[in-house]
A and B are shown apart, each in its own frame.
Chain A
Amino acid sequence: MEPIKVSVRGHVIKYFPGEQERFEFVSEGPISILDMLKALSVDPLLIMMVNVNGVKQPKTAMLQPGDDVLLFSPPAGG
């Protein structure tokens, strides 16, 4: 099964396993972004925005093996 390629951007990296900016997530099949974050023990509310294969998606969107996922931190306003 081809892994999902995940990139985390900004300061919430420290709340991800291993504090890695980039890692691969293996899923047995399609999985929602919300469920992937839960599997990583990351509160989905920490993520401000998600891009999948370069397109902005809601956190309820389903991921397929091989997808490129970008997870964005909220900026510190002002």
Chain B
Amino acid sequence: MNGYAGNILRVNLTNRTHSITPLPQDLADNFLGGRGFVAKLMWDEIPPGADPFGPENKVIISPGPLTGVFLPGAGKLEFGAKSPATGGYGDSNVGGHISPEIKYAGFDAIIIEGIADEPVYLFIDDFNIEIRPAAELWGKGALESETLLKQDLGDEFQIATIGPAGENKVLFACISHDFGRQAGRTGIGAVMGSKNLKAIAVHGTKTIQLADPVATLEKGKEMFAACFEKPGFEEWTPQGTAGVTDWVNEIGAFPTRNFQTGYFPKHKDINGEALMRKIKVTDKACYSCPIPCGKYSRVKKAEYDIHVEGPEYETIALIGGNTEIDNIEDCAYANYILDELGLDSISGGNVVGFAMECFEKGIIKSEDISGRSLKFGSVEDFVWLSQEIAYRRGIGSVLADGVREAAKVFGQGSEKFAIHVKGVEWSGYEARYAPAMMLSYMTADVGAHHNRSWAITFDVATGRDKLEGKAQRVIELQHIRPLFDMLCLCRLQWVELGFELDWYPQIFKAVTGKELTWDDLLAFSERVWNLTRSYSLREIEGFGRSFDYPPARFMEEPIPDGPTAGKYMPKEVIDRLLDEYYKLRGWDNNGIPSAAQLKKVGLGFVESTIAPLRK
């Protein structure tokens, strides 16, 4: 099968068996790969009502049909599982180098099921598959574990690990790879931990069959050349995503003090220039990427001496602005602590910021935290609380379940400023004056995450007071961006350098031999979007419209200061956005796909499950 390795690896940790079976043609034909495989395999294989931490939940890992090919950014890997954070669909992707390695080992998907009776790691060397003991790694940090496994196995092995947070089933535990890349969202690291699976180590030596090797090489060369020729390369690369920090403040959308406001006065002390000037050592790229967005940094102070990849923009926003840590060195230190503990830095910054606001308001009292304080701006408090969370100690055990669940415990109005959608904390854009971005967060299938639709420049360009056209654009982006996660290509070459979208069906044809238009490819993405919605409808009781609302803060509290002072998004505006969005999607007023819509996108097989949910 051109473009594919041709096999699925299934590992059962309970009985320590594995099997290798051919990749079904219809799976490739209908769901492409990556996120598409994850969604379809989750629907088919994880029993309805499965406990996210039970043996029946599965960690599904999939590279895509373009992974490992000579193309810029062809190194993304998709992880999926029933999310312990949302209770529904969960996925997250990572760059680095492990995705091509899995494909070179011969696999288009790895399905991990069951629960090991002791800590283990999964060893994959082509078709030599072993479940190896990992007791010596258990309890160690994610970065340290990767180092130890590399020392043991050799640098040719690519490693994905969890840290103590994953072992302790923190609901925003991530999977770490390549010393600082994370599949961060939806808590799949906790699912690995629940299976006693500390790590995955992969080495592969096989080749990928291409439909037209000459055309693939020529198109690949053209795309690589474009990376260097496209305007923007030299300016974008030195700072990576951190370069956007000032701009997000300029438009009043920078998360600050647990999203109390959208402007951080000290943003120039944590921006891309500060990173370059003070802590950056070198650039760091993923597999086959000529535009390295990763920045490898070192901070040496009396209190600590650390190396870390980052901080990138999201981490700067959620650690820097959201907890008001006002210097790039301490942001990097907090970033390092979260990476080693195996905590998603987006959710981590949210949860700590939420706790700091609870402390500020007297909801968390000093006596609740051993007489200490929990203040915005304190890196010591940030680090202390992160460790309490990762090891589920004291109040950390409550916060380890994320802001939605913690607010249920704390009460006293804290629900209003628990900044999440569907149980997943909000990433780096305050959206009270950005309707398309707000709708993007509200309707993202994995909770409040920006990578499904990054629409904030569209808001600025088309008017932030206007609602017309916003839902349509969000839907377009929700098909374009997740398509990259199905092909398992990095989207930054398109977003940052302006790659022509028509190039992607051309390279897809050269690799797979399948002649599809860009619109054909988007139709696959729309299919998967409806499938992930259906999955959450199946798994979460009462799931629907009420799960698509933002936190009350954004609907009720005007932004107090900065460029967007006075702005908020009343519920009637939110409802207008949702109404239009559902209508354009072919979903009913409760956000449930119609039978006709399911049939149109090729999901007739889910209709019998979804039909009883419609009223």
Q: Answer whether A and B are interacting partners.
A: yes
Are A76 and B247 in contact (CB-based, < 8 A)?
no
CA distance A75 to B317 in the complex (A): 14
Asked if B492 CB lies within 8 Å of chain A CBs, one says: yes
The reply to whether B457 and A73 form a contact with Cβ atoms under 8 Å apart is yes
User: Is the Cβ of B454 less than 8 Å from the Cβ of A76?
Assistant: yes
**B251 cross-chain contacts in A, Cβ below 8 A:** 45
Tell me which of B241, B250, B427, B451 contacts A75 (CB under 8 A).
B241
**Residues of chain A in range 29-66 having any CB-CB distance to chain B below 8 Å:** 42-43, 45-46, 48-49, 51
A17 at the interface (CB under 8 A from B): no
The listed residue (B315, B427, B460, B497) touching A10 by CB distance below 8 A is B497
Contacts of B427 in A (CB 8 A): 78
Q: Which residues of chain B are near A42, meaning CB under 8 Å? A: 461
* C-alpha gap A7/B234 in the complex (Å): 14
> Are B496 and A10 in contact, with the CB atoms below 8 A?
yes
* B428 pairs with A77, CB closer than 8 A: yes
Complex CA–CA separation, A76 to B498 (angstroms):
12
* Closest B residue to A16 using CB positions: B461
Chain B residues with CB under 8 Å of A78's CB are 241, 312-315, 346, 427-428, 450-451
Q: Complex formed: what's the CA distance from A76 to B454 in Å? A: 7
Contact of B312 among A21, A70, A77 (CB under 8 A): A77
Q: Is the interface of B mostly helix, strand, loop or mixed?
A: helix
Contact B492 A76 (CB under 8 A): yes
With known contacts A72-B232, A72-B235, A43–B461 Cβ distance under 8 A: yes
Scoring A residues 7 to 32 as 1 if CB is less than 8 Å from chain B, else 0, what string do you get? 11111110100000100000000000
Partner of B241, one of A45, A51, A76: A76
Q: Would A12 and B461 be within 8 Å (CB), given that A72-B235, A75-B496, A77-B317 are in contact?
A: yes
Taking a contact as CB atoms under 8 Å apart, the answer to whether A46 and B454 are in contact is no
- Give A47's nearest chain B residue, CB to CB: B247
B240, B457, B460, B497: residue with the most chain A Cβ atoms closer than 10 Å = B457
| Cβ-defined contact, A77 with B244, below 8 A | yes
> A12: which of B244, B248, B457 is its contact (CB, 8 Å)?
B457
B457 touches A77 (CB 8 A): no
Give the Cβ gap from A16 to chain B, nearest Cβ, in Å. Answer: 10
**A75 and B461 form a contact (CB under 8 A):** no
Q: Chain B residue with minimal CB distance to A59?
A: B250
Whether B314 lies near A76 (C-beta < 8 A) is no
B235 touches A49 (CB 8 A): yes
Task: For residue A50, give the distance in angstroms from its CB to the closest CB of chain B.
Answer: 11
- Count of A-B contacts judged by CB separation below 8 Å: 89
Q: Which residues of A contact B454 (CB under 8 A)?
A: 76
In the bound assembly, the distance between CA atoms of A77 and B314 in angstroms comes to: 6
Total residues of chain A contacting the partner, CB 8 A: 24
Chain B residues, Cβ within 8 Å of A72: 232, 235-236
- In the complex, what's the smallest C-beta–C-beta distance from A61 to chain B, in angstroms? 16
The smallest C-beta distance from A48 to any residue of chain B, in angstroms, reads 4
How many Å lie between the Cα of A45 and that of B313 in the bound state? 19
In the complex, chain B residues 425-453 whose Cβ is within 8 Å of any chain A Cβ: 427-428, 450-451
Which of A9, A46, A77 contacts B232 (CB under 8 A)?
A9
Closest to B313 in A: A77
CB neighbors of A among B280-324 (8 A): 312-315, 317
Q: Is B246 in the interface zone, CB < 8 Å from A?
A: yes
Which B residues touch A7, using CB under 8 A?
Answer: 231
Question: B452-471: which have CB < 8 Å to A?
Answer: 454, 457, 460-461
Is the Cβ of A10 less than 8 Å from the Cβ of B236?
A: yes
Minimal beta-carbon separation of A41 from chain B (angstroms): 10
- Check A75–B243 contact: CB distance below 8 A: yes
Contact call B457/A21, Cβ cutoff below 8 A: no
Judge if B27 is at the interface, Cβ distance under 8 Å: no
Residue of B nearest to A15 (CB): B461
Most chain-A Cβ atoms within 10 A of its Cβ — which of B240, B313, B461?
B461
Once the chains bind, are A77 and B498 in contact (CB under 8 Å)? no
Given contacts A11-B498, A48-B246, A49-B235, contact A74 B314 (CB under 8 A): no
CA distance A75 to B428 in the complex (A): 13
Identity of the chain A residue whose Cβ is nearest the Cβ of B496 in the assembled complex: A75
Interface on B for A, CB 8 Å cutoff?
Answer: 231-232, 235-236, 240-248, 250-251, 312-315, 317, 346, 427-428, 450-451, 454, 457, 460-461, 492, 495-498
**Leading 8 A-B pairs by shortest Cβ distance:** A77-B313, A78-B314, A9-B232, A9-B231, A48-B247, A74-B247, A77-B241, A15-B461
A/B interface sample: 25 pairs, CB < 8 A: A10-B236, A10-B497, A11-B496, A15-B457, A15-B461, A21-B231, A45-B460, A46-B461, A49-B235, A49-B243, A49-B247, A51-B235, A72-B232, A74-B248, A75-B243, A75-B244, A76-B241, A77-B245, A77-B428, A78-B241, A78-B312, A78-B313, A78-B314, A78-B315, A78-B427
Beyond the given pairs A9-B235, A21-B498, A75-B244, 16 more chain A to chain B contacts, judged by CB atoms under 8 angstroms and listed by A's residue number, are A9-B231, A10-B236, A10-B498, A11-B457, A11-B496, A15-B457, A45-B251, A46-B457, A46-B461, A48-B247, A73-B457, A75-B241, A75-B492, A76-B492, A77-B312, A77-B314
Chain A residues at the B interface, C-beta cutoff of 8 Å = 7-13, 15, 21, 42-43, 45-46, 48-49, 51, 70, 72-78
